[in-house]
C-alpha cells in the first residue's frame, strides 16, 4: 500500500511535520502513516567506565548497565506511543485519508529503506530550536532514498510559493516531473532559479523548466542567479517570500557527490524553512 510517511520522535518539529504531512496526504490523496523508530543505542550517564575495573565489580557494572538500558528502552517506547497517538488525533481533524500509526525498533536508515517501495513521500522533522546541525540519520536518508523528502525545520506555514532550484541534473529533472505531474503542494506559485555564471546556458535551462510547468498551467517566474554560492539561493528565498525550497539532493557519482553533496549540506545547515529534496 502506498502512503505518505511522517517520521516523528516527539521533538524536532514533530507537530509541524504532522501538519505538512497532512497537507501532502490530502494533495496526493494517499493514506498518512506516522512512524516512530525506537533506537536501542544505550549510552550510560550513571556508570563511570573510565579507568580500570576492579575484579569482582564487572558483574555488578554489567547488571547496572542492563537495568539502565531496559529503563531507557521502556521510556522511549512509552513516549513514542504517546506522540503517535497525539499526532494521529491531531491529523485526523484535517486529513481526508486514513491515518495510521506504527512503532518499530532498530536503526533509522535500515527501517526507512525497508519501507521505500511503499513510500510516495517522506516527511521528517529536523533540528530542534536549540540545534544547528543536521543529524547523520537525516543525511543518510537523503543520500539513499529515491523518494521526495520534505525536511521540516520550522513552524507550519500554509505554502503559497515554492522555490525550485534547477540545474539540469537528473535529480532536478526528476524534481520538475514530480512537482508538475503529481505535486506534493498544489495551487502554489512556483519560482524557478538557476545558479549559473553562463547566462545563455542558464536561459536554456530555465526555458526547459518553464515549459514543463506551463503544460500544467502553473503560475511560474524564472530567474538566473549570477554565481554558484548557496547564499544566493537562500537570499532569493528570503527576499521573495518563498515558503518551501525544492532542489535535487546529493549526486550519485563520487565527483558529483563532492560538488553537489557539499552544496546540499551547506543549504541544509543554513536554511530556516522547509526543504523538499529529490534524488
Q: Which long-range contacts (CB under 8 A, 24 or more apart) does 69-74 make?
A: 69/40, 69/42, 72/42, 73/38, 73/40, 73/42
117-166: pLDDT as tens digits:
999 999 999 865 445 556 778 888 988 899 999 999 999 999 999 999 99
Which pTM value belongs to this model? 0.86
Residue span(s) of the chain under CATH 3.40.50.620 come to 3-41+74-149, 157-278
Percent of the chain with pLDDT over 90: 53
Place of cell 541534473: 169
pLDDT of residue 47: 46
> In the predicted model, what is the mean pLDDT of the chain?
84
- pLDDT of 37 above 70: yes
Total count of residues recorded for the chain: 279
C-alpha torsion sign, points 118, 144, 206, 240: positive
Report, as an integer, the average pLDDT of 29-55. 69
The CB-based long-range contact list for 133-136 (8 Å cut-off, 24+ gap) reads 133/269, 134/265, 134/268, 134/269
- What HEC string does the chain produce? CCEEEEECCCCCCHHHHHHHHHHHHHHHCCCEEEEEEECCCCCCCCCCCCCCCCCCCHHHHHHHHHHHHHHHHHHHHHHHHHHHHHHHHHHHCCCCCCEEEEEEECCHHHHHHHCCCCEEEEEEECCCCCCCCCCHHHHHHHHHCCCCEEEECCCCCCCCEEEEECCCCHHHHHHHHHHHHCCCCCCCEEEEEEECCCHHHHHHHHHHHHHHHHCCCCCEEEEEECCCCHHHHHHHHHHCCCCEEEEECCCCCHHHHHHHHHHHHHHHHHCCCCEEEEC
Which cell is 117 given? 517501495
Of 70-74, 132-136, 188-192, 240-244, the least confident: 132-136
Please determine, for residue 111, whether its predicted confidence score (pLDDT) is greater than 90: yes
pLDDT (mean) for 102-129: 90
Q: Provide CATH code, domain 157-278.
A: 3.40.50.620
Q: Is the pLDDT of residue 48 over 80?
A: no
Q: What's the pLDDT at 257?
A: 44
**Which pLDDT does position 212 carry in this prediction?**
86
pLDDT at 128: 52
Counting residues of the chain whose pLDDT is more than 70, the rounded percentage is: 81
pLDDT digits (tens, 9 = 90+) for 221-253: 999 999 989 999 999 999 999 999 999 876 544
Does pLDDT of 258 surpass 60? no
How confident is the model at residue 28, as a pLDDT?
95
User: 3-41+74-149 falls under which CATH superfamily?
Assistant: HUPs (3.40.50.620)
Amino acid at each position: 500500500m502506498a502512503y505518505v510517511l511522517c517520521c516523528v520522535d516527539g521533538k524536532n518539529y514533530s507537530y509541524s511535520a504532522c501538519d505538512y504531512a497532512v497537507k501532502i496526504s490530502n494533495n496526493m490523496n494517499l493514506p498518512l502513516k506516522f512512524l516512530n523508530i525506537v533506537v536501542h543505542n544505550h549510552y550510560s550517564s550513571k556508570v563511570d567506565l573510565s579507568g580500570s575495573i576492579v575484579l569482582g565489580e564487572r558483574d555488578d557494572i554489567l547488571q547496572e548497565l542492563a537495568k539502565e538500558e531496559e529503563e531507557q528502552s521502556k521510556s522511549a517506547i512509552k513516549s513514542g506511543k504517546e506522540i503517535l497517538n497525539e499526532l494521529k488525533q491531531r491529523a485526523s481533524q484535517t486529513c481526508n485519508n486514513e491515518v495510521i500509526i506504527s512503532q518499530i525498533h532498530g536503526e533509522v536508515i535500515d527501517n526507512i529503506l525497508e519501507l521505500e517501495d511503499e513510500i510516495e513521500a517522506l516527511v521528517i522533522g529536523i533540528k530542534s530550536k536549540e540545534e544547528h546541525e543536521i543529524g547523520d540519520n537525516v543525511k543518510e536518508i537523503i543520500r539513499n532514498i529515491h523518494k521526495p523528502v520534505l525536511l521540516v525545520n520550522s513552524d507550519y506555514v500554509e505554502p503559497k510559493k515554492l522555490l525550485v532550484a534547477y540545474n539540469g541534473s537528473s535529480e532536478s529533472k526528476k524534481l520538475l516531473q514530480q512537482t508538475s505531474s503529481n505535486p506534493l503542494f498544489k495551487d502554489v506559485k512556483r519560482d524557478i532559479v538557476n545558479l549559473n555564471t553562463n547566462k545563455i546556458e542558464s536561459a536554456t535551462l530555465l526555458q526547459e523548466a518553464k515549459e514543463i510547468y506551463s503544460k500544467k498551467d502553473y503560475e511560474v517566474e524564472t530567474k538566473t542567479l549570477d554565481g554558484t554560492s548557496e547564499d544566493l539561493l537562500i537570499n532569493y528565498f528570503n527576499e521573495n517570500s518563498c515558503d518551501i525550497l525544492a532542489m535535487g539532493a546529493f549526486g550519485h557519482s563520487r565527483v558529483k557527490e563532492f560538488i553537489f553533496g557539499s552544496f546540499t549540506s551547506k543549504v541544509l545547515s543554513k536554511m530556516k524553512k522547509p526543504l523538499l529534496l529529490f534524488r
